[in-house]
A and B are shown apart, each in its own frame.
Chain A
Amino acid sequence: MTSAPNTNAIRRADHVAIAQFINKGELVLDVGCGDGQLMELLQQERGARTRGLEVEQAGVNSCMSKGLAVVQGNADADLPVYPDDAYDVAILSKTIQELARPKFVLDELSRIARRVIVSFRNYGHWRVRTALLTTGRIPNLGHSTGWWSDGARRPCTARDMAELAAEAGLVIAAATAVNGKPVTGGSLGRLNWTADELVFVLERKKG
């Protein structure tokens, strides 16, 4: 069974935070689009045109039954076939920490799209730091069977993500806590303390 389009579904907070950076008419690639919730939101509320990439059959079928264009594939392998500058925006919503090759994927997306938006869990948040200090363990690794298991998350911080962006030749054009106001410039240290979930808007370095 595939579910009918459900516009009343509870929205993921990071989706709402991402949507504010999307402009009307933009062509958006959602990498790891799942059942297409974010694409629906971007179409309905931002007037964007969307394409999805998803590896799981159930998510792909769900997208198609909602009339959303989706390609079944794997971000770690299939991005090289996309042409340069094909999209205005590429999105990794809570996906980049699950990838086998995050640097490769970010390199590819910055080639394919003029802007790359990533949302991710921030392991620099003060609660995580406190927990590490007091318990000696890293919390929220995203997998119940241990940090060593397949698909366990990469526990990076806001500063770590900024380092990856720089390595990929990208600059942080805007950043926001998922439940906060967007900031630009030198607030990264504060966000790294206070935000448990972050959205970065990355753009190619000029010149």
Chain B
Amino acid sequence: MNAPARTLSGADGLKRLSVATPAQPLKLDSGRVLENVEIAYETWGTLNADKSNVVVVCHALTGDQFAATPNPVTGRPAWWDRIVGPGMPVDTNRFFVICSNILGGCMGSTGPASKKPDGSYWGTDFPIITIADMARAQIALLERLGISDVFLCIGGSIGGMQVLEWTIQARDRVFAAVPIAVAPRQSAQNIGFYETGRQAIMADPNWRNGTYLAEGTRPEKGLAVARMAAHITYLSETALKRKFDRKLQDRQTKTFGFDADFQIESYLRHQGQTFVDRFDANSYLYITRAMDYFDLASEHGGVLANAFRGLNTRFCVFSFSSDWHYSPEENRDLVRALNAAGCETSYVNIETDKGHDAFFVEEPEFEAGLRGFVDAAANARGLPKARA
């Protein structure tokens, strides 16, 4: 059977459930509470009778719940149908897959672009949220769907941070976990890059101290610059050289001006421009702030291993050799802590020049390794093979 879907609000066709009400508010790490929270989500596959085949996919910073099918609002293709779908490593013929838009996001879940009970936009009145708060809201969503145990929790980047929070919060209710291209704490370098992006947004006169939705303006220039700066960190120097090097864009010579002479400039401008069409600037502020605050060790007495001690979850961590956003070294810090905590842990560092974003694109060794881990875990969990 498929999980029940009740559309609570919005005529946009997105599936949503209320996960917090004034009677049962969502308590946040900041000490504040949210009395009304809706989480938008999407599902694929069929929930089995004993509800043992549930996979939770956690999306990255600018992702959404449309991991395996196109987004009907933006028209963009599924962002992870290489991994999630019929016959894919996360096989929707075998598993019941749920992906939800994160708390603070802008694809139907409650966030700064949502309205308060009084009808005005949250904007920067929205409370600061953390990765743990996002996982809290997702766990509440699954409870509303009548699901307590998760076979697999998987995600990359900030999605991987959510995976780690899941294993800790839903203690021993997560059978297997796959954090990809992640770090147990946000580095100073990343905080620096995201602060640059936030300052670009706030410096845009159309940001209006965060009230642009009420005022009918959009800080598009600031948000585009934020995206351009961040996007560089998702690629690698080797790949930039391979794809663009110093090649000129549709011209034979330099123009001695500030037009996009170089292909890399044109590419980044395009990335920035297409991003502003689909993303809310305040959401970008809140989600990047949540990443900055992420430091699992500090939440567990300064010892990262303490976060995982005694967990029965089997882990498989993937990193990518050319990723400098969340480097192999940072992923190894996580693996070391998992090992020190005695968790059953696998770790794979994929050789690639595709940088942080490698997990979105064709990477055969990653897909083969992931398929092997997921299949073996499903067999260990006693899940029947997919029907052909």
- A residues contacting B by CB (< 8 A) are 2, 51, 57, 60-73, 78, 81-83, 86
Are B344 and A69 within 8 A (Cβ)? yes
Are B347 and A67 within 8 A (Cβ)? no
The count of chain B contact residues (Cβ–Cβ below 8 Å) is 28
The contact of A83 among B332, B340, B369, B375, by CB within 8 Å, is B340
Q: B143 at the A/B interface (Cβ < 8 Å)? A: no
Q: Which residues of B lie under 8 Å from residue A81 when comparing CB positions?
A: 332, 335-336, 339
Q: B249 at the A/B interface (Cβ < 8 Å)? A: no
| B332-343 Cβ-contact flags toward A at 8 Å (1 or 0) | 100110011010
- B residues contacting A by CB (< 8 A) are 305, 314, 316, 332, 335-336, 339-340, 342, 344-351, 365, 368-369, 371-373, 375-377, 379-380
Are B372 and A86 within 8 A (Cβ)? no
Q: Which residues of A lie under 8 Å from residue B348 when comparing CB positions?
A: 57, 60-61, 64, 72
Q: Smallest CB-CB separation from B332: which chain A residue?
A: A81
Distance in angstroms from A39 CB to nearest chain B CB is: 12
Q: Which residues of A lie under 8 Å from residue B377 when comparing CB positions?
A: 67
Q: Which residues of A lie under 8 Å from residue B332 when comparing CB positions?
A: 73, 78, 81
Distance in angstroms from B348 CB to nearest chain A CB is: 5
Are B347 and A73 within 8 A (Cβ)? yes
Are A86 and B368 within 8 A (Cβ)? no
Q: Is the contact region of chain B dominated by helix, strand, or loop, or is it mixed?
A: helix
Q: Take A69-B346, A72-B349, A81-B332 as given contacts and tell me if A64 and B376 are in contact as well, using a CB distance cutoff of 8 Å.
A: yes
- What would 25 A/B residue contacts be, using CB atoms closer than 8 Å? A2-B372, A51-B345, A57-B348, A57-B351, A61-B365, A61-B372, A63-B346, A64-B373, A65-B371, A65-B372, A67-B380, A69-B314, A69-B344, A69-B346, A71-B335, A71-B339, A72-B348, A72-B349, A81-B332, A82-B336, A82-B340, A83-B305, A86-B339, A86-B340, A86-B342
Are B347 and A65 within 8 A (Cβ)? no
- Bound Cα distance from A70 to B372, whole angstroms: 12
- Bound Cα distance from A73 to B321, whole angstroms: 12
Distance in angstroms from B54 CB to nearest chain A CB is: 20
Q: Take A81-B336, A83-B340 as given contacts and tell me if A65 and B375 are in contact as well, using a CB distance cutoff of 8 Å.
A: yes
Are B376 and A71 within 8 A (Cβ)? no
Q: Smallest CB-CB separation from B316: which chain A residue?
A: A64
Are B345 and A69 within 8 A (Cβ)? yes
Are A67 and B379 within 8 A (Cβ)? yes
Q: Which residues of A lie under 8 Å from residue B365 when comparing CB positions?
A: 57, 61
Q: Which of B314, B342, B346, B373 has the most CB of A within 10 A?
A: B346
Q: Which residues of B lie under 8 Å from residue A69 when comparing CB positions?
A: 314, 344-346
Q: Which of B345, B350, B365, B369 has the most CB of A within 10 A?
A: B369
Are A2 and B340 within 8 A (Cβ)? no
Are A71 and B340 within 8 A (Cβ)? no
Are A61 and B368 within 8 A (Cβ)? yes
Distance in angstroms from A111 CB to nearest chain B CB is: 13
Q: Smallest CB-CB separation from B328: which chain A residue?
A: A72
- Bound Cα distance from A69 to B345, whole angstroms: 6
13 new A-B contacts, CB < 8 A, other than A78-B332, A86-B340, are: A2-B372, A51-B339, A61-B348, A61-B369, A64-B376, A65-B372, A67-B379, A68-B376, A69-B314, A72-B349, A82-B340, A86-B339, A86-B342
